[in-house]
Amino acid sequence: MRRLILACAALALLVSACKEQTAAPDAVGTKRLVVGFSQIGAESAWRTAETESIRSEAAARGVDLKFSDAQQKQENQIRALRTFISQKVDAIILAPVVETGWEPVLREAKRASIPVVLVDRGVDVEDDSLYTTLIASDFVEEGRMAGRWLAERLGGAGRIVELQGTPGSAPAIDRKRGFEEAIAEFPGMTIVRSQSGDFTRAKGKEVMEAFLKAERQKIDAVYAHNDDMALGAIQAIEEAGLKPGTDVILVSIDGVRAAFEAMVEGKLNCTVECNPLLGPAAFDAVMRALAGETLPKWIKVEDRVFDQSVAAEVIGTRQY
């Protein structure tokens, strides 16, 4: 019995000694990087995918990630940033909920020499040295891609109705502008009606219902600023006795899973991806900033166009 205890103790010592040996160089040599990430919340599948991307990238690079969920409130984000600063993190990743009101806390971060990388939305500050870079999609380009795809599909002529996002929001303004730019080259392409569907399915359906009545069903295509509104419009088109995807062509933006499912069913024709998987780009930016490099103020995320022809093969690989 005694021997057994001794043996166990010896084994334990040995193991702990080995452990120390392997741990030692890491602790002395390269210190584990600490990065604070202030996320807006988890209000959509898109945002959940973004959070997951940043988390998994941090784990893959062995970065110690301090995560804070602001539940849609700026004051929570500002508090989180102050906590990160007092904890002396190496860098901060911020997905700002609104554009304004960031100057004081960003100044504090700058004074503490902590680089701040913004993801998916910008901030409105006088002095753009307050943040390192913004990693985000180009909403105008997304609108252009949707416009170009639709022009090709319709052969350069058609009566289009537009379902806008929430009035005044950046994606709604930019996606509208980009689309208009793209179809301006085709005089036959006209937007006959354009209303806000507030980025929701219910409103998208309600507005589409009214459009179908007002245009007496003579609508060739729908351009929706996000997938959810297009999914609502699909139901309105079906209930009006038309076939979505055939009688009425639909193109939307975001590339969420439900949109791919609708494309596989042949009801949605095309979605322009708005990529939420910003983790790799965000940590690349953090590393470059810590190495003392100067980064461009806006690193654009590459977005891609997916239509029905590829929907079935890529749906399995979609992460959000």
Partner 1 sequence: MRDSARAAVRAIGRAAPAAAAVGLLLAFNAAFTPGFFDLAVADGRLAGSLVDVVNRGAVVALLALGMALVIATGGVDLSVGAVMAIAGATAATLVAQHGASPWAAIAGALAVGAAAGAFNGALVAGAGVQPIVATLVLMVAGRGAAQLLTGGQIVTFNDPVLNFIDGGFVAGVPMPVLIAAGALALGLALTRGTALGLFVEATGDNERAARLAGVRVRAVKAAAYVLCGVAASVAGLLAASDIRAADANNAGLYLELDAILAAVLGGTALRGGRFSLVGAVLGALFIQGLTTTLYLHDVSPNATLAVKAGAVLAVCLAVSERVRAWVGRK
Query: Quick one: which of 55, 177, 193, 288 contacts partner 1 (CB under 8 A)?
Result: 193
Give min distance, CB of 211 to partner 1, in A: 7
Pairwise CA distance, residues 244 & 124, whole Å? 40
148 lines the binding site for partner 1 (CB under 8 A): no
195 lines the binding site for partner 1 (CB under 8 A): yes
Contacts of 304 (CB under 8 A, 6+ apart): 272, 273, 275
111 lines the binding site for partner 1 (CB under 8 A): no
Task: Give the pairing of strands 305-307 and 270-273.
Answer: antiparallel
Pairwise CA distance, residues 234 & 10, whole Å? 70
**Containing H/E element for 173?**
helix 170-183
Query: Quick one: which of 9, 12, 18, 42 contacts partner 1 (CB under 8 A)?
Result: 42
Query: Quick one: which of 45, 85, 264, 305 contacts partner 1 (CB under 8 A)?
Result: 45
DSSP for 26-78, written as a single string: HHHSSPPPEEEEEE----SHHHHHHHHHHHHHHHHTT-EEEEEE-TT-HHHHH
Q: Which of residues 245-304 bind partner 1 (CB under 8 A)?
A: 258
- C-beta of residue 15 within 8 angstroms of C-beta of residue 43: no
Q: What are phi and psi of 243, to 5 degrees?
A: -100, 110
**274: closest CA among 31, 64, 45, 116?**
45
211 lines the binding site for partner 1 (CB under 8 A): yes
Closer Cβ to partner 1, 148 or 225, answer by number: 225
Closer Cβ to partner 1, 77 or 196, answer by number: 196
209 lines the binding site for partner 1 (CB under 8 A): yes
Query: Quick one: which of 138, 180, 206, 307 contacts partner 1 (CB under 8 A)?
Result: 206
Tallying the residues shown for the chain, one arrives at: 320
Contact region with partner 1 (CB under 8 A), list: 10-18, 30-38, 42-50, 59-67: 42-50
**274: closest CA among 165, 137, 119?**
137
7 lines the binding site for partner 1 (CB under 8 A): no
Query: Quick one: which of 205, 251, 273, 306 contacts partner 1 (CB under 8 A)?
Result: 205
How many chain residues interact with partner 1 (CB under 8 A)?
32
225 lines the binding site for partner 1 (CB under 8 A): no
Cα separations (Å) of 91 from 25, 37, 116, 121, 148? 23, 9, 6, 18, 39
214 lines the binding site for partner 1 (CB under 8 A): yes
153 lines the binding site for partner 1 (CB under 8 A): no
Residues engaged in binding partner 1 (CB under 8 A): 42-45, 48, 164, 167-168, 193-196, 198, 200-202, 205-207, 209-211, 213-214, 216, 228, 231-232, 235, 239, 241, 258
